[in-house]
Amino acid sequence: MPANTLPPPAHIGVIMDGNGRWAKKHFQPRSMGHRAGARNFRTITRYASRIGVKYLTVYAFSTENWARPAEEVGALMGLFKDYLQEALRDFMDENIRVRFIGDTSAFAPELQALIREVEEASAPKTGMVLNLAMNYGGRAELVRGARLFAQAVERGEASPQDLTEEGFARYLYTGGQPDPDLIIRPSGEQRVSNFLLWQCAYAEFVYFDILWPDFKTQDLDRAIAIYHSRQRRFGGV
Ligand code: FPP
């Protein structure tokens, strides 16, 4: 049962960091750290859905992660395939809708097919929306949004002088969703790392000195309690 008496924030973002250091600590290859991280992703996602989080956005693969050694990228791609297959079964039972944010066209055709399958199969689900950020970068998302807007102007469907912040947000992957209220980064790093750059404008950040594979459901409760202890002013007083 949730430890917090107050309801969780509607939208939580998580930067799943520290898999590599976890593997090193356990004298294992980095791929094993990602495997442990992927298992934990499942646990935390299920828990978030059960305690009533409406939107959960997790950073699984950034536009910069392609620069890692081919072996590590390959291991991550393998994990994505395994876990998306499991997600098909698992998250469906939990009434979770899975969406992908990022340029998924860069992935292998087999993975892209799986991504489409998961999105389509879970589209009718009415529970928590899980945004999986894969080949995602906040700057790339903003450039894509600007391009989509420019194309709409070219087609005569939009006009630059009528563009508002709300209107522009609709060109982002998260269009139509509320901005994250809380962003959690385990592992001790205190950086945004190109995650939800537009959407994080008023998010509360909580950093924990825990490696992602060790991040427990109690830590999510703790982050939510910290969130509730903060006073959000949205630029006011
Ligand atoms: C950052 O840790 C983590 C990643 C780059 C990958 C995150 C991916 C998963 C947890 C798998 C999720 C699976 C699915 C299906 C969504 P790091 O490698 O940068 O750790 P380090 O900073 O300790 O080296």
Catalogue the E-assigned strands of the chain: 11-15, 55-62, 97-101, 129-136, 182-185, 204-207
Q: Given the structure tokens 């969406």, which residue do they identify?
A: 99
pLDDT for the residue 56: 98
Q: What is the CA radius of gyration of the chain?
A: 18
Task: State whether residue 183 is helix, strand or coil.
Answer: strand
pLDDT for the residue 91: 82
pLDDT for the residue 8: 97
Nearest CA to ligand 1 atom 13: 38
Query: Can you give the pLDDT of all 237 residues of the chain as single tens digits?
Result: 557 788 999 999 999 999 999 999 999 999 999 999 999 999 999 999 999 999 999 999 999 999 999 999 999 999 999 988 887 788 888 999 999 999 999 999 999 999 999 999 999 999 999 999 999 999 999 999 999 999 999 999 999 999 999 999 999 999 999 999 999 999 999 999 999 999 999 999 999 999 999 999 999 999 999 999 998 788 887
Nearest CA to ligand 1 atom 3: 17
Number of other residues whose CB lies within 10 A of the CB of residue 205: 19
Residue from 17, 76, 82, 84 whose mutation best tests the ligand 1 pocket (most atoms within 8 A of CB)? 17
pLDDT for the residue 233: 81
pLDDT for the residue 2: 58
Residues with CB under 6 A from ligand 1: 16-21, 34, 37-38, 41, 60, 65, 79-80, 83, 132
Helices and strands, number each (H, E), in the chain: 7, 6
Token output for 151: 């194309």
pLDDT for the residue 231: 83
Question: pTM for the full model?
Answer: 0.95
Q: Which amino acid is at 90?
A: D
